[in-house]
Amino acid sequence: MTELDDLDRKILTELQRHADTPLDALGQVVGLSRNACWRRIKAMEAAGVIRARVALLDAAKVGLPLTVFMQIRAAAHDADWLAKFARATRAMPQIQGVYRMTGDLDYLICARVADMADYDRLYQTLIARVPMGDVSASFVMEEIKHSTELPLFEG
Amino acid sequence: MTELDDLDRKILTELQRHADTPLDALGQVVGLSRNACWRRIKAMEAAGVIRARVALLDAAKVGLPLTVFMQIRAAAHDADWLAKFARATRAMPQIQGVYRMTGDLDYLICARVADMADYDRLYQTLIARVPMGDVSASFVMEEIKHSTELPLFEG
DNA sequence: TGTGAAACTGACATCGC
DNA sequence: GCGATGTCAGTTTCACA
């Protein structure tokens, strides 16, 4: 895949909001024919620009109203620890994101839980599977913004 | 909408991964007819359990390889400040998430940027629009896990 | 189960570089 | 010519009643 042009970006902007937009409507918005849109989409899927089409759920309505961020300090500063940590967190479905931060010793985890007891279960499970240097948790009181949409045009 | 049963959860589990699964295939996985699946999906969309169907993009491939978390302390502890802060951050498309954390003075922002210069632009824009008490940024070195999928069955 | 509306597939003419 | 597009079949698959 070459670089994305403005038409590609228009298509992506729409698909990021509504993945189920019919090609006809998409073509109208973008200013291209059905077919041209379709070809571009396929190319971007093949290139991995479009990773997946997914359904987003309301976390509260499926029983996971609480979001928690955990700040973690590694117990050991080596590749083995990281591998074990990565494997453990990837296997835990309540964990939405795991990020190694600048500093090389700090990790950030974002997870969704039902309540405090559920969080404690998550915490206990995690420290049982991987030795932790230090763990602190902050809970989300209010989700002011939450989006999966990436900006594709210069501000 | 009443409570979700196991069949609903099975449907959602699949749709969270592949929103474009045909109803036939979905029915087979779940053990239901096309039609029954379709009715349940419509009901869950109407109830807001399914918020949207979206395309997920590869952030690096659209020119936003850098993820940053900003920790922010409010300049003022009042509703006006929060309203202004919320409005400003919601209007900035590079910002993916904004969370008011426990403590009532701390906010967490997650944003995607092209590079450090881009981050600085974001930072400058933000502090120009809203008075900030304190801002610190941590950059993501490695995305160990990132998922929009919520767990729907007990671990 | 059936019907209409989509998504797909390929062929071919066209326009700009 | 080459690359991208538009149009116009055709077929298949799906959403929906």
**Do B126 and B83 share a structural domain?**
yes
**Do B79 and B20 share a structural domain?**
no
Query: Hey, are the CB atoms on A12 and B62 less than 8 Å from each other?
Result: yes
**Do A70 and A36 share a structural domain?**
no
Distance CA B139, CA A108 (A): 11
- According to the model, what pLDDT value does residue B77 have? 86
Query: Hey, are the CB atoms on A64 and B147 less than 8 Å from each other?
Result: no
CATH code at B34? 1.10.10.10
Count of A–B CB contacts within 8 Å? 223
- Is residue A145 domain-resident? no
**Do B78 and B129 share a structural domain?**
yes
Number of domains comprising chain B: 2
Name the average pLDDT for chain A: 95
- Is residue B107 domain-resident? yes
Q: How confident is the model at residue A3 (pLDDT cuts 50, 70, 90)?
A: confident
- Is residue B40 domain-resident? yes
CA–C1' span, B16 to D1, in Å?
Answer: 46
CATH code at A78? 3.30.70.920
The domain containing residue B122 runs over which residues?
A: 60-139
**Do B116 and B64 share a structural domain?**
yes
**How many residues comprise chain B?**
155
- According to the model, what pLDDT value does residue A155 have? 60
- Is residue A20 domain-resident? yes
Q: How confident is the model at residue A11 (pLDDT cuts 50, 70, 90)?
A: very high
From the number of C-beta atoms within 10 Å of its C-beta (0-12, 13-18, 19+), residue A50 rates as buried
- According to the model, what pLDDT value does residue B34 have? 92
- According to the model, what pLDDT value does residue B105 have? 73
- Is residue A149 domain-resident? no
- According to the model, what pLDDT value does residue A1 have? 57
Residue-wise pLDDT tens digits, A44-98: 999 999 999 999 999 999 999 999 999 999 998 899 999 999 999 999 999 999 9
**Minimum CA–CA partner of B148 in chain A:** A96
CA–C1' span, A152 to D13, in Å?
Answer: 32
Distance CA A47, CA A12 (A): 13
Chain B neighbors of A85, CB-CB under 8 A = 144
The residue ranges of chain B whose pLDDT is under 50 are none
- Is residue B73 domain-resident? yes
